[in-house]
Structure 1
Amino acid sequence: MKHTYLKLIFSFLLLGSLVTFAQEDEEDWDMYDDFELEDDTPIKRYAAPTLSGMSPQRFISVSFDAQMPYDYEFSEVRFPESSVEGFDVDETNPNVNESGRADFTGGLRINTKIPIISKSSFVWQSGINFMDTRYSISPDAEFGESRFTLPNGNEARGLGQILNEDGLRNINWTNTLFFPMNETEFIVFQGQMDMSGNFALDSFQPLNTIRYSAAAVYGRRVNDYFRWGIGVSRTYRVGNLNYVPVIMYDWTSKNKKWGTEILFPARAYLRYNFNKNSLLLAGFDLEGQSYHIDEYSINGNSYEIRRGEVRPKIEFQTKLTGYIWASIQAGYRWDWSYDADELDGSRDFFRGFFGNQDFGMINTLENPLYFNVGLNFVSP
């Protein structure tokens, strides 16, 4: 895979730098040992799902995301039927089929995370999320020259024209389950179903192109200011299917000014609280999914763009009124992957970081600045 070693080095360096934030001395809970209740009935206590000083949890979020202009190069579209050995795409020097400039990339994002059950012994949150990505390709791009004939004889548009006319969309259903075992230990499960592609809202793509992600984390809540956890995730955040370790590291200083909010590799932030109504986050998000391209999906197979991107960013959050907060992000969209695979019978496969399976396309995007503004309904 292109840039594999660079990406691995980046990941390890970033992880090493983020988890070494200094933690202050833990609170001395022994001072409460002599406290007794008048009633002798034992009370089962559980670890809380939040920490003091963390950014407010968003129940409903509506935002608009926009990337600055950037250049792109898309290779020819290859199918196993059109070559003697697999796709036969030269990853180091692919045959470029089209190049151009995206004047705009972005669109509406809606995220929900609604409490279904909220008890001290169990928390279940569920949400439907929608991300619409529109592309405005520069008129200088020659779409007509990028057209080609599919193995089934049909004529197809180039990828640039597909993006310009259709865009890409993602709809997912996410469920998060929080199981506290006692006052300090807990387990978090998250499951997600994604439909991603160039489909229209009135005409969805085949259900067998739905991709499934899941994560499980075991954690310890040391006190009201610090918790950590380790786990494993089945994820598409790097575009193609991958299995990666998960590290949680959430910490708040005793004066509640500084902190970290880390669920690596999905996200990692350093936090500064100006006051209880405004804060600043600096860190990164890892976004990605596998996008079905309907026009290239023939003979019962699914042709998918493995879109993954790292987003270093600074985000300011502030309370407007009541439970309504505003957020403003500015950052850098770094292309991790925009290559493509053809999936036999729509069944996915595992390539990971070291697999040598050939790609159906080798695509390159320049890395632009991006901005995101949003309104959020947050928890009390």
Structure 2
Amino acid sequence: MKIRKLLIILLTIPIYVAQAQTPETEALEEFASPGVRGMGRSQGVEIRYERLPNFKIDSDSDDPRLGNGSGRIDRHNKFALKAYAPLLNKPQNKVVLGFNYELEEFNFENLTPASYDLYRYLEDKNLKSIGAQLLYLHSINQRNFYFVRVKGELNGDYSRDDIKVSDYLKGTVDVAYGWKKSPDYVIGVGLQWGYTFGRQRVYPGILYNRTFNPNWGVESIFPANARLRYNLNEKTLFYTGYRIEGASYNMYVNEPPLSEFKELELRRTDIKGLLRMEREIYDFIWFAVEGGFRQYYRHRVYDDIGSRNEIINNDLAGSGYVAVELYLVPPRKFTERNR
């Protein structure tokens, strides 16, 4: 299985390659960075599985060829595999290369040939995202820094046999400027040109990371996410907060009536209220358990890539969710040796 082979390759990457991301080294203490004391360990390789069980879906369209429909989604599965490695790790300049493979699928309840066309198309369909990103962090001095991240992804319903890069490629750009007030307090401002709210556009953001004492802290990029952190000890962390997630998938349907539109785009935005625990298993191996409530804000199908003309508006009921993660971090002995 190709996913299994890819996983084996990624797990053989030296764990300490993630050192370029951690704020724990002497270099990042001498020069400004977004991290503050008390934050979780940097991740080199991450595997995540998420499930949302049993929720209702209602769909309506003004196009008589599509009509309206309703049904139940038995489960909504998501899988993600990510890896990060430093290309440059200098005191004032960091360059990190990242890769990701993600997919999500819908399984509908009691689906029949007479069911709504969109549901039949999405059943067991892997909506994939394969991407690469490059992050550049420059520490101007002990107080100021900026970073730029460029990311390209192939998002859609493609398979190995029919993939065409120009049909599925989507780009995201993040830029931010920050001030490190102290080792426990960082604030910054930035912009993202991306898909957090479904359609590609420019979104502002405010970075606010602060550790108040050895146990409590806040990590946020408002309005996209905000988390209150509780450090039980150096091996166990708890979080509560919210996260906004968005995605855009290009779809090429070969059966009517959806095939009459040639190129379709599915865009979604959802908001999650979450509780999360991160725990060390053994030095460089950590796991996380996360759960909460997901509420869809927008889930729509458009008649063309980048179009404003929605042809199907899906109303998905709120649902609880649960996710588990396994990830690798720099070994503690390695980070201590570099302080």
Tell me the TM-score range normalised by the shorter chain. 0.7 to 0.9
Q: How does 1:137-176 map to 2 (within 5 A)?
A: 137-139=108-110, 141-146=111-116, 158-176=117-135
Shift of 1:301: 5.5
Query: Partner of 1:56 in structure 2?
Result: 41
Tell whether 2:286 aligns with 1:325: yes
Is 121-130 or 200-209 further displaced after alignment? 200-209
Query: Partner of 1:354 in structure 2?
Result: none
Letter in 2 for 1:183: Q
Q: Distance in 2 between matches of 1:185 and 1:192?
A: 24
Shift of 1:242: 2.3
Query: Partner of 2:227 in structure 1?
Result: 269
Query: Partner of 1:315 in structure 2?
Result: 276
Please, which of 320, 323, 330 is the counterpart of residue 379 of structure 1?
330
Query: Partner of 1:243 in structure 2?
Result: 202
Q: Is the 8 A contact 1:267 1:285 kept in 2?
A: yes
Please, which of 301, 305, 322 is the counterpart of residue 266 of structure 2?
305
Render the CA deviation track for 1:247-275: whole Å, top value 9, x for unaligned. Answer: 0000012x321001111233211100000
Letter in 2 for 1:251: R
Q: Percent identity?
A: 21
Give the total of aligned pairs. Answer: 299
Q: Distance in 2 between matches of 1:336 and 1:203?
A: 31
Letter in 1 for 2:144: E
Q: Distance in 2 between matches of 1:266 and 1:125?
A: 22
Letter in 2 for 1:256: P
Q: Distance in 2 between matches of 1:239 and 1:232?
A: 16
Residue 161 of structure 1: SS of its match in structure 2? helix
Relative distance call for 1:256 and 1:133 in structure 2 (3 A) is same
Query: Partner of 1:150 in structure 2?
Result: none
Shift of 1:232: 1.1
Tell whether 2:68 aligns with 1:117: no
Letter in 2 for 1:74: S
Q: Distance in 1 between matches of 2:129 and 2:267?
A: 13
Relative distance call for 1:299 and 1:69 in structure 2 (3 A) is closer
Is 267-276 or 302-311 further displaced after alignment? 302-311
Letter in 1 for 2:40: S
Shift of 1:127: 1.2
Relative distance call for 1:299 and 1:211 in structure 2 (3 A) is farther
Please, which of 93, 96, 99 is the counterpart of residue 70 of structure 2?
99
Runs of 4+ in 1 over 3 A off after TM superposition: 76-79, 296-301
Q: Distance in 2 between matches of 1:303 and 1:76?
A: 14
Letter in 1 for 2:79: L
Residue 35 of structure 2: SS of its match in structure 1? coil
Tell whether 2:137 aligns with 1:178: yes
Q: Distance in 2 between matches of 1:137 and 1:374?
A: 25
Render the CA deviation track for 1:38-80: whole Å, top value 9, x for unaligned. Answer: xxxxxxx52145321101111110011100210102234859x
Query: Partner of 1:71 in structure 2?
Result: 56
Shift of 1:113: 2.3
TM-score by length of 2: 0.82
Q: Distance in 2 between matches of 1:162 and 1:300?
A: 14
Work out which of the two has the higher radius of gyration on C-alpha atoms and give 1 or 2: 1
Could you say which structure has the higher strand fraction? 2
Residue 162 of structure 1: SS of its match in structure 2? helix
5+ unaligned residues in a row in structure 1: which ranges? 1-44, 83-94, 147-157, 350-356
Relative distance call for 1:299 and 1:368 in structure 2 (3 A) is closer
Q: Is the 8 A contact 2:303 2:309 kept in 1?
A: no
Render the CA deviation track for 1:9-64: whole Å, top value 9, x for unaligned. Answer: xxxxxxxxxxxxxxxxxxxxxxxxxxxxxxxxxxxx52145321101111110011
5+ unaligned residues in a row in structure 2: which ranges? 1-29, 332-339
Query: Partner of 1:187 in structure 2?
Result: 146
Tell whether 2:314 aligns with 1:363: yes
Query: Partner of 1:231 in structure 2?
Result: 190
Relative distance call for 1:239 and 1:127 in structure 2 (3 A) is same
